[in-house]
Every structure is written in C-alpha cells, then in structure tokens.
Structure 1
Amino acid sequence: MQASAILPQDASDAALLGRVWSETQAGPCPVLLRQGHVFDLSGAAATISGLLERDDLTAILASTDLPDLGPLESFLDGSAGHLLAPVDLQAIKAAGVTFADSMLERVIEEQARGDSARANEVRARLAPVIGESLRGVRAGSEKSREIKALLQDMNLWSQYLEVGIGPDAEIFTKAQPMSAVGCGDRVGIHPISEWNNPEPEIVLVVRSDGTILGATLGNDVNLRDVEGRSALLLGKAKDNNASCAIGPFIRLFDAQFTKSDLENATVSLRVEGEDGFVMTGESPMQAISRTPDDLVGQMLNRSHQYPDGAVLFLGTMFAPVKDRRGEGQGFTHETGDRVEIASPRLGTLVNWVERTDRCPEWQFGIGALMRNLIARGLGDRI
C-alpha cells in the first residue's frame, strides 16, 4: 500500500489520529499524522481512548514537540512497524438496518432462511412492494407508522423493518475492545458460511459523555446465511476472529471537516477477487433512515454508559447482489478478495479476505496492553 492511496484527499488539512505498533517503542502507540509523518502521542495519553477523553486534546495535537516515529510509508512497508485499528479500549458497537436497501436485504435473508439460491426469487416478490416504500422514510416518523400498518395488513412486516423504521434502533456489540483489525490486515469469514459479504460503513468516534468527536471507516463483515437462519445467531454472524476492520485513521471534526460534511459523505466499495471478479458500488450517507445523533443517543444515555468511550458503525448502505458463483446465487466472498472501503474525506480502508481460522489469532487484549504500557513506563498515562 502507498500512503497516498489510503489517506483522505485533503489529508494536509485533516486532523488524523491513529494507532501503530512501533518496533522502536516495542508496543502500540497513539499517533498523529502530520505532513506524512507519524508522531507519538504516548507522552500525553498511552491509549486512544484516554487521549480522546482529554479536554486539552486540541492543544496536545498542536504541539511541536511530539516524537517523530518516522514516515507513514515505513509503517506500510513494515520497516518501522504496522498500522493498527485506530481504537483500543472503546466499546465497538454497531447499528443495524439503517438504510433502505439493506433493510430489504435483511428481510430477504429472513424469508429465504439463509439460502442464497432462494434470494432472487424472494427479492423479485418483495422488492416491488417493500423496496420503494422504504426509501426516504425517517425512522419513527408518521410516514413510517403508515407503512408499518400497510405492510402488516399485507402480512409482510418483519423484525428487521421494526428496527429499520420503528422508534427503536438496533444497536449491538460488533466486537470486543482491542479485537478490531486495521488497514492492511486480513479480515475474516467464518468457514461455515457460504453466503457472506462486506458491510462498508462510516464509524463514529464517541467520547464517554456522548460527544461525537470524529469518524473513520469500517467493515462490519456479515455472514448472510447464518443470520438468515435465525436473527438469534447475530453474534455468530458478526463477532468472529478478525471479522471487524476499522481505519485507516480517525478524522476529528474541526473547521475543515464537520458533522455536515459527514452527513453528506459518499462511501464506495470495491472488491477484487483472485478469480478476476470485480464488484463496485457507491452510496450516499444522506439515504440513512436515522441521524447519527439519534443513533448515538440510543447507544449512549442514562441507561447505557461507556466510560472508555465507544465507536459506532452507522449501518451499511450496500446490499451486494452481483452473481459470482453462478446465475441467481448473488455475491459471496472468496479467499484472497481485496476489499476497499473509501470516502474522499476519510481515506481508504484496505483488507484481504481470509478464513477466520487462518487469520492470526487475537491475543493482544486489554491485559496484554496494560502489561506492555507498564513495562514501557507508561502506566501513569493509561
């Protein structure tokens, strides 16, 4: 990977935070990307979580005395270390069925009982009735209540539509703190799955008090056949080894990048297979059925606290249906797929698909992090 290929188009004007494994520091470091170089922020806070809780974050990032760990390229070619997911102690949460197309596909999975061969038949039957009625509808609105009543009369109401346009969002735990993989890593598909796909999403970065500080990109890898068999298998479909990718960097909100910019962002997806298969797509954040503020408010409130902060996947805009293994069988991953998730103001998250049981095992958890930081003399900065 080249730095220019993964950074935002306006990287020189962006406040970009990340994490790297530094060979010279013998461990993970929160970093600031400035003028193509990686600067160590461990002197202010040993974790990204702790750093984002600092009231003087702006002043910290403006400092000219930060240790230079080297050019970003040296962490992309492995000579100085490698990129990590730009989060550590934060809870990793996700919102489901927040876009019309993905709502329809969840209903199709449910009706097809996880059988990809039946998906086209179900799609042809449901799309003309459900698909258009969902577009542009705000969750919890009077219009959504009218649609619910109509679909119930037609016996087409679904648990996925309930969380898609009803008053209560689906907020679930995508992965455990410290378990996400970063840009350039392998991303895992459970070997039991024969029907699966990437879920390209914008990921909000939220402080413990509910303040949305910025955003990054994520891949909420999903096993469509597993979840389609039963919604109660959501954990098995979502939370597996290397099944959550986040990165490449967190872009903080400032005068150059605001919530309005995020709400008007476009996210693109490109999958390239070793078999020559290529799939591309592009979708706007404006099509979301709930505002980011509403989703964060449903995740973090008086009944739900996250003292180390949280990141929130906003839901996928994509429902890949391009046939791959044969006519009518739709899309599914193959080992070796290169997945690019991109947005001009956030950069590009790149990962390669592998089976979960062939991806590196997750071993560096919270306990290992604490021991590492204490050994490096950073215990008082946790």
Structure 2
Amino acid sequence: MFTLDRKGLHVGRVWNPEVQGPSVVTVRGGIVFDITSFEAPTVRDVLEMPNPADYIRTVAGAELCTVEKLAAANSVNKNDLHLLAPCDLQAVKACGVTFASSMVERVIEEQAAGDADKANAIRARIGNAIGANLRNVKAGSPEAQKVKQALQNEGLWSQYLEVGIGPDAEVFSKAQTLSAVGSGAEVGIHPISNWNNPEPEVVLAVASTGEIKGATLGNDVNLRDVEGRSALLLSKAKDNNASCAIGPFIRLFDDTFSLDDIRQAEVDLLVEGDDDYVMRGHSSMKEISRDPADLVSQVIGRHHQYPDGFMLFLGTLFAPTEDRDHPGQGFTHKIGDKVTISSAKLGALTNIVRFSTDCPEWTFGVSHLMRNLSARNLI
C-alpha cells in the first residue's frame, strides 16, 4: 500500500488490460485517471514538455480506479490493472558511492572480496574512522585530496574512495529501457549471490535537455558478494531480471515541490521477512557528498546526450551492517522479504524479493511498445 501527497502532481504508468499495454496516468483526489493521448502517449513525452506540471494539472482523463485498488492490484497477471515503473523510454542510470557511509561499505566489500567474516574484521578496523574523516569532505576538493593521500599512506586507498571523494562521480547503467518494475512487483536477486541487500534511493526524472522535471523512489538491488569480488562485475551485480524497482509515481516539480525538497528528503527502509525478521534503515539526502544537480551534469552534456531523457538513482546512505542470522555475517536477503522504501513527499515503493530466475520474464520491450501504441492510433 502507498499513499501520495495530495498537494503533489503525479505521473505514472499502469498496465491496462483493455489495451494489453501501458497507459499514462495521474492521480486526482485519490482517483487514478488514464491520460494517455496522441499528444503524450508516453511518460517520456510528458517530461519533454516545457512545463509538465501544467499539462498534468489540466489534461483530460478517463477514470480507472482508486489509488487503494491500484496499490492492492496483482502485478503479475496481465489481465489485471496494475502499476508499472513510472518511466518508459528513458535510460535508467545510477550514481554510486555518493554517501560517506556507503563509500566505506564499498571499500570493505572490495577488500573482503565477498567474504562476510573478513568484511566484519575490516569494518571493525577502519569503518568508523574513515566514515568520520569523510563525512564533511566535499568530493573533488583540496581537502578530499589530502584525505586521499592519507589513505594511500595507510594502504587503504580504493577505487570506491576515488569516485567517492575524487572529482568524477561513479555513473553506471542500472537497467535496460522498459525493464524496471513498479511498486507491488517482485524484485529479483540473481541466484549466484549469497550476500545482497536493498538500496533505498531517490530517483530523478531528467528530460533530454538535462532539466530535472521531478523525482520518485527506487530500489537499486545490490549483490554485495558479486560486486565485492571485482568492480568489473558491476553489470552482472546490478542489471538482472527485475533487479530495478522504481515508483510508485513521479512527482513533478511545481510550486509545492522542487529540487530543494529532494536535497532535504528523508528516505526510510523497512524489510519484513517471512521468518518474522524486521529491519529498518534510513537514508538522509542532507548527507549526500555531491549535489543532485552536479550528478545530473556529470551524466548529460556535450559529452553524452539522452534524446529520451533518463532516470537517475542518486545513491544511498543506508549501509546494511546489522546481523540477520549469525554474528558478524551482516544482513542478506531471504526469498519472500517484503521491502518498502518510503519518503513523505514521494510515497512508498513496495516489492517482494524473489530470485531473478523466478520473477516474471521481461518480454515487453521498445518494439512491443511502439507496435502497441501504433495499434491504438497514438503514434
């Protein structure tokens, strides 16, 4: 279940069984309206408008259902109306190691090479010290260079610290276009992984011009042991079937919501296991080491264009060090975990953890979308 700030203007997507394809939707007074049109057949088209908020505020729509009914819908059955990820043609990008605490954990993962016992020992040795030293260091600054030299002198330098406090952010492709799942869907863990966790993040919706048009929530599912063995396994660790969840809706920037709200956002995490295990986590955007606008500028510019815009995960402060089963083993998912990521102005994104091989296969790609929209006389 999710709630949306009724002061906000929201745009998203649902699977519409009547057309066996996606519909662009908005929410008004707790009711979901289909606003798909020839003018804007995709969310991408809405975000490319000079003022998406004005369009969403005034566009006509057909009533579909209540928000409560949509939140409770079956996301697996294509004969049921259900939420999809609120993006469509946009590339799905992500920035990593943007918070001091998560940066420490990446260093530990790398040095432990996926061994949870070894990671615990390294964490005890350097974790708190590095976190304290880096918390207020601005990435790319002269102070950051001094920290870099000190860490090198201690033999603790790492590629993760390079992107954490160096001049260049880590930017990677999280998921293929149209492959992200929405709230209520199953989210996938690759079966080769034995040490993994959710990553609760704010996700920006960015137009082809580089202008940030709104934001939503995301789960950048992370395979700690796979990436920890080698940073060259990043794609294998990050991009798998159903491993990217985004939603529930994109909240558009308007006079009630702006980038400053993102800079102050508090993101909560709740994991509820079938074994009665409960874990709570938190990520505060106030502690990010790079401004969201700076991260966007590192993604798009003369060096790289995105004609359909992109979604950008901003990273997380959350570091899953709490033991789940055995002392020193930290946290890892179990199949059936219910993961809820929430923030007051963005709603809540909820997913159930499965193996990627057990999640519904991704079969609706760009070619399928184009054919579907054409058959509906929308393009």
Say whether the fold is shared (TM-score over 0.5): yes
What amino acid sits opposite 1:7 in the alignment? T
SS where residue 108 of structure 1 aligns? helix
In structure 2, how many angstroms separate the alpha carbons of the residues matched to 1:369 and 1:13? 31
1:255-274 to structure 2, matched below 5 A, reads 255-274=255-274
Aligned amino acid, residue 126 of structure 1:
I
Question: Hey, what does 1:309 align to over in structure 2?
Answer: 309
C-alpha change, 1:369 and 1:64, in structure 2 (3 Å) is closer
Distance in 1 separating the partners of 2:32 and 2:129: 52
CA distance in 1, matches of 2:151, 2:317: 22
Partner deviation per Cα, 1:14-43 (whole Å, 9 max, x = no partner): 011110011234320111111111122211
| 2:16 aligned partner | 22
C-alpha contact 1:215 1:250 (8 A) present in aligned 2: yes
Letter in 1 for 2:65: G
- Counterpart of 2:315, as a letter, is G
Q: Distance in 2 between matches of 1:57 and 1:123?
A: 46
Deviations 1:294-323 (A, max 9, x none): 100000010110000001000111111111
Which residue is 1:142 aligned to? 142
Q: Contact 1:266–1:284 (CA<8 Å) still a contact in 2?
A: yes
> Secondary structure at 2:92's aligned position in 1?
strand
State the partner residue of 2:91: 91
Aligned counterpart, 2:42: 47
TM-score, normalising length: structure 1:
0.95
2:224 matched to 1:229? no
Structure 1 residue 7 displacement after superposition? 2.1
Contact kept in structure 1, 2:137 and 2:144, CA below 8 Å: yes
Give the drift of 1:237. 0.4
Residue 204 of structure 1, CA deviation = 0.5
Q: Assess, with a 3 A threshold, how the Cα gap between structure 1 residues 21 and 276 changes in structure 2: closer, same or farther.
A: same
Whole-angstrom distance in 1 between the partners of 2:241 and 2:191: 11
Q: Secondary structure at the match of 1:106?
A: helix
- What pairs up with 1:164-179 in 2 under 5 angstroms? 164-179=164-179
Specify every segment of 5 or more residues in structure 2 that has no aligned partner in the other structure, as ranges.
75-79
Give the stretch that moved more between structures: 37-46 or 297-306. Answer: 37-46
The answer on 1:188 being equivalent to 2:188 is yes
Which amino acid is 1:12 matched to? R
Q: Which amino acid aligns with 1:76?
A: A
Give deviations 1:180-207, integer Å, cap 9, x for gaps.
0000000000111000000110001100
Corresponding residue of 2:200: 200
In the alignment of these two chains, the number of paired residues is: 373
Match of 1:292 in 2: 292
Give the structure-2-normalised TM-score.
Answer: 0.96
**Seq. identity, %:** 58
Which amino acid in 1 is paired with 2:284? P
Higher mean alpha-carbon deviation, 88-97 vs 276-285, is at 276-285
C-alpha contact (below 8 Å) 1:74/1:81 kept by paired residues: no
- 1:7 and 2:3 aligned: yes
Aligned ranges 1:58-97 → 2 under 5 Å = 58-63=53-58, 65-78=60-73, 81-97=81-97
Alpha carbons 2:271, 2:337 under 8 Å: kept: yes
Given the superposition, is the C-alpha separation of residues 182 and 18 from structure 1 closer, same or farther in structure 2, using an over 3 Å criterion?
same
User: For the residues of structure 1 that align with 2:95 and 2:55, how far apart are their CA atoms?
Assistant: 32
**Secondary structure of the equivalent of 2:156?**
coil
Measure, in 1, the Cα distance between the counterparts of 2:57 and 2:250: 16
Distance 2:184 2:231 in 1: 31
Partners of 2:13 and 2:85 within 8 A in 1:
yes
The answer to whether 1:34 aligns with 2:28 is yes
Distance 1:64 1:174, change over 3 A: closer
Residues 296 and 56 (structure 1 numbering): CA distance in 2 closer, same or farther, change over 3 Å?
Answer: closer
Query: Over the residues paired in the alignment, what is the CA RMSD in angstroms?
Result: 1.3
Deviations 1:255-276 (A, max 9, x none): 1111111101101111010011
State the distance in 1 between where 2:53 and 2:253 align: 11
Map of 2:253 onto structure 1: 253
8 Å Cα contact 2:186/2:242 also seen in 1: yes
Q: Note if contact 1:271-1:339 (Cα within 8 Å) is conserved in structure 2.
A: yes
Counterpart residue identity of residue 336, structure 1: G
Contact 1:267–1:342, Cα closer than 8 Å, also in 2: yes
User: Which whole-Å CA distance do the structure 2 matches of 1:342 and 1:57 have between them?
Assistant: 24
Can you give the 5+ residue segments of structure 1 that lack an aligned partner in the other structure? Answer: none
Pair 204,302 (structure 1): closer, same or farther in 2 beyond 3 Å: same
Counterpart Cα distance in 2 of 1:39 and 1:326: 48
Query: Equivalent residue of 2:6, what SS?
Result: helix
Give the conservation status (yes or no) of the 8 Å contact 2:35–2:60.
no
Stretch moving more, 252-261 or 237-246: 252-261
Query: In the alignment, residue 18 of structure 1 is paired with which amino acid?
Result: G
